[in-house]
Structure 1
Amino acid sequence: MFPSTAPASYISLDRRQSKPNGARALATAISEAIQRQVYRANERLPAERDLAQHYDVSRGTLRSALSLLEQQGLVERKVGSGTFVRGQANSSSSQFADTTSPMQLMQVRNMLEPAIVDLAVHHAAGRDLEQLRTALERVEAARSAEQFSIADEAFHQAIAQACGNPLMIWIYEQVNEVRRHELWRASRGKVLTQENMTQYNAHHRALFEAISHRDAQTAKTTMTEHLSKAQQDLVR
């Protein structure tokens, strides 16, 4: 059911926004509603028609937002059944997010993500590559640090989704739980300059091309360089 009144953090969407901006804003609104348990874990979201009417957006914008939320691991879309809220991180995951510094997060990512991209090269199906292409286009279109951060998370999550290993996907979702923490968000202004975002996107494009061409060595090397730069930017 929908709340009888709009919550305080409800995001008003401007119909004049371009479709990507509208979808990102809507994804944020639904994500916040999930965090407040307006939409509860493992329950089905309202029908698309009802959601679109509630948030006063088009069905196309809604579907784009749901795709972004799916890439972020917050919802799962089941053909013929609807869209379901995925089980949220438990208290243990939240505790790790509270006590893990951005540098410690990067240490884990440096160990984990080259292995993930190697698996993605060997296991990505056609649908995975299409989702990865969409995620790439969104991160390349991002203009602000906030937009880039959301799209960057979705791009890396799409790589994890393509690896074909449910346990690895779950582990990477815990990484993203930490990435959403205030400690990480506070570093965005320093790290996500226009120059850095351009360089990160060059890596993103190279990663997509390497995965598409089944080039494991280039994919792993590019991911290592990408994460190394991000870590260096954190300490400058």
Structure 2
Amino acid sequence: MDSTGADAKETRPAAGARLGEGGRHVGQITAQLREAIRSGIYVNGDRLPAERDLAERFDTARSTIRKVLFNLESEGLIERRVGSGTFVKYDDLSVGAAHDIVSRVSPLELIEARLAVEPHMTRLAVLHATANEIKMLGSILDDLEQCRNDKDAFSRHDSMFHEWLARSSRNPLLLHLYQQINAVRGHDQWDAMKIKILSPEEIDEYNRQHRALFEAVRRRDIAAAVKQINDHLEKARRDLMGAAAV
């Protein structure tokens, strides 16, 4: 993945100076930079500091910063421009419009949309993913498998895993569509279902499916990968229907 560009406007305080140094965890750093954007430390159109500068500021590895930027991009707060850097694209009006759509989509409608999009998205990822993209997918999966007892962390890394598949499809429209799908997962309805569904045992089963899907992508096995994503989403649909009936 490309490094981000130079620091944002010098007249604005550096994020680390305002927000505190040393946040080593992906979730903590994501929260700090998210707040820096929403509070106006960085405004729409600003270029964020380079990956190496953010890594130094937060005393962490560049691989951690890449995951942080991935989270922020998934939330629609930043965009990456090849050869130019990473820029803030936070706009209260556009965020409000997106939230209006998200608030009207139920968890079951989310799964229906995912079943319509993800099998072909996965097929394209098998065909087009680079070795580095597959390596990054494996790194996200490694983190995901450490989330057995943390429903929130599991949900974050699960979103990252599937969105990285979308990115690996090399189809920008599919990526955009999947980012909209992913936005639904931060809605209150999904949080309520998550509490009902995500026991440690269920997380283990979802991660077994994630691992099987990853191995199929790594082997470039289209049929196996498409079967795994369909099985995975069908399980999610059954679990949601069961939770809704309780």
Aligned-residue offset at 1:82: 4.1
Q: Where in structure 2 are the equivalents of 1:124-143 lying within 5 Å?
A: 124-142=129-147, 143=149
SS state at 2:205 partner: helix
Aligned-residue offset at 1:153: 0.5
CA 1:35–1:185 in 2, change beyond 3 Å: closer, same or farther? Answer: farther
Aligned pair 1:230/2:236, yes or no?
A: yes
Aligned-residue offset at 1:181: 1.5
Aligned-residue offset at 1:46: 3.5
Aligned-residue offset at 1:200: 0.6
CA 1:119–1:52 in 2, change beyond 3 Å: closer, same or farther? Answer: closer
Aligned pair 1:108/2:113, yes or no?
A: yes
Q: Which residue of 1 aligns with 2:65?
A: 65
Large movers: runs of 4+ above 6 Å: 12-15
Aligned-residue offset at 1:58: 0.4
Q: Which residue of 1 aligns with 2:7?
A: none
Quick one: distance in 1 between partners of 2:145 and 2:159?
Answer: 13
Moved more, 83-92 or 23-32: 83-92
Which residue among 200, 215, 232 is the counterpart of 1:194? 200
Q: Which residue of 1 aligns with 2:157?
A: 151
Q: Where in structure 2 are the equivalents of 1:1-236 lying within 5 Å?
A: 1-2=12-13, 22-47=25-50, 51=54, 57-60=58-61, 63-70=63-70, 73=74, 74=76, 75-76=78-79, 81-86=84-89, 90-142=95-147, 143-236=149-242
* Structure 2 segments unaligned to the other structure (5+ residues): 1-11
Moved more, 80-89 or 125-134: 80-89
Q: How many positions carry a matched residue from both structures?
A: 225
Aligned-residue offset at 1:79: 7.1
The answer to whether the Cα contact below 8 Å between 2:22 and 2:60 also exists between their aligned partners in 1 is: no
CA 1:117–1:41 in 2, change beyond 3 Å: closer, same or farther? Answer: farther
The answer to whether the Cα contact below 8 Å between 2:51 and 2:65 also exists between their aligned partners in 1 is: no
The residue type equivalent to 1:30 in the other structure is: L
Moved more, 36-45 or 216-225: 36-45
Indicate the percent of aligned positions where both proteins have the same amino acid. Answer: 34
The answer to whether the Cα contact below 8 Å between 2:127 and 2:220 also exists between their aligned partners in 1 is: yes
Quick one: distance in 2 between partners of 1:39 and 1:79?
Answer: 20
Q: Note the alpha carbon deviations across 1:37-89, whole angstroms, 9 max, x for none.
A: 54334421135576567xx73042x6503424326535455677543335665
CA 1:123–1:45 in 2, change beyond 3 Å: closer, same or farther? Answer: same
The residue type equivalent to 1:217 in the other structure is: A
Quick one: distance in 1 between partners of 2:110 and 2:40?
Answer: 27
CA 1:133–1:228 in 2, change beyond 3 Å: closer, same or farther? Answer: same
The answer to whether the Cα contact below 8 Å between 1:31 and 1:69 also exists between their aligned partners in 2 is: no
The residue type equivalent to 1:119 in the other structure is: L
Quick one: distance in 2 between partners of 1:59 and 1:36?
Answer: 23
Moved more, 167-176 or 73-82: 73-82
SS state at 1:109 partner: helix
The answer to whether the Cα contact below 8 Å between 2:51 and 2:66 also exists between their aligned partners in 1 is: no
